[in-house]
Amino acid sequence: MPYFVRPSVNLNTEEKEVAYSLAHAAIAATVGGEDNEVMKMATVNSLLKTYLPYYYWVGFYLVHGQRQLIVGPYQGTLGCLYIDFGRGVCGAVAASERTKIVADTHVLEEGKEHIACDPNSRSEIVLPVHRADGSLLGVFDVDSTEEASFDAVDQRWLEQILRDTFAV
């Protein structure tokens, strides 16, 4: 594993609630009222990675043209540059505009249902990111090196944080 990236450390439900509450408050205090999307994406990545120890790769893929995503601001090892709608977890979420949680990426068909930008990725959550006008900005992708890092608690908090940050 590259020297600059630490393996994930899972949290229990109570620890997640505390960490997300702190991260949500820090994000609101830092970019609340800001308009620049790049600034907000970079800040969301940084603060969530600071408070959640199982966040191995965290970042955004942005809608590019009609049916493609391109990599946006992220933190972690090298991310794929292009993802077609419908391909991988990110492409599936961009097409459906519904959150997807993957407990074990190894059970997915590689190259079709999952794209392994980093072989250390083992579980994943991907959420659609909408603007205030309802348009799809892209998707928010988080990878963990541990199995089953993500659940309904992550989904609830991340949907709240993304709504409060980008759909206002």
CB of residue 104 to ligand SME, shortest distance in Å: 13
Q: Kindly give, in sequence order, each residue whose CB lies less than 8 Å from that of residue 29, ignoring residues fewer than 6 positions away.
A: none
Nearer to ligand SME, 20 or 85 (CB): 85
68: Cβ–Cβ under 8 A, 6 or more apart, which residues?
A: 82, 83, 84, 85
If binding is defined by CB under 6 A, does position 90 make contact with ligand SME?
yes
Instruction: Tell me: does residue 115 bind ligand SME (CB under 6 A).
Output: yes
Start-to-end Cα distance in the chain: 38
Give the residue, chosen from 40, 49, 114, 122, that forms a contact with ligand SME under the rule CB under 6 A: 114
Measured in whole angstroms, how far is the alpha carbon of residue 129 from the centre of its chain? 10
Strands laid side by side in the 136-144 sheet = 82-84, 68-75, 57-64, 136-144, 123-130, 100-102
Query: Judged by CB, which is closer to ligand SME: 73, or 91?
Result: 91
What whole-number distance in Å separates Cα of residue 116 and Cα of residue 121? 7
121 binds ligand SME (CB under 6 A): yes
129 scored as a contact of ligand SME (CB under 6 A): no
Token pair for 41: 């994406």
Of residues 23 and 83, the one with the C-beta less far from ligand SME: 83
Kindly tell me which residue out of 80, 95, 101, 136 binds ligand SME, with binding defined by CB under 6 A: 80
Q: Closer CB to ligand SME, residue 8 or residue 24?
A: 8
* C-beta separation of 134 from 101 below 8 A: no
Please give the residue ranges that form the binding site for ligand SME (CB under 6 A).
57, 79-80, 83, 88-91, 114-115, 117, 121, 124, 141, 143
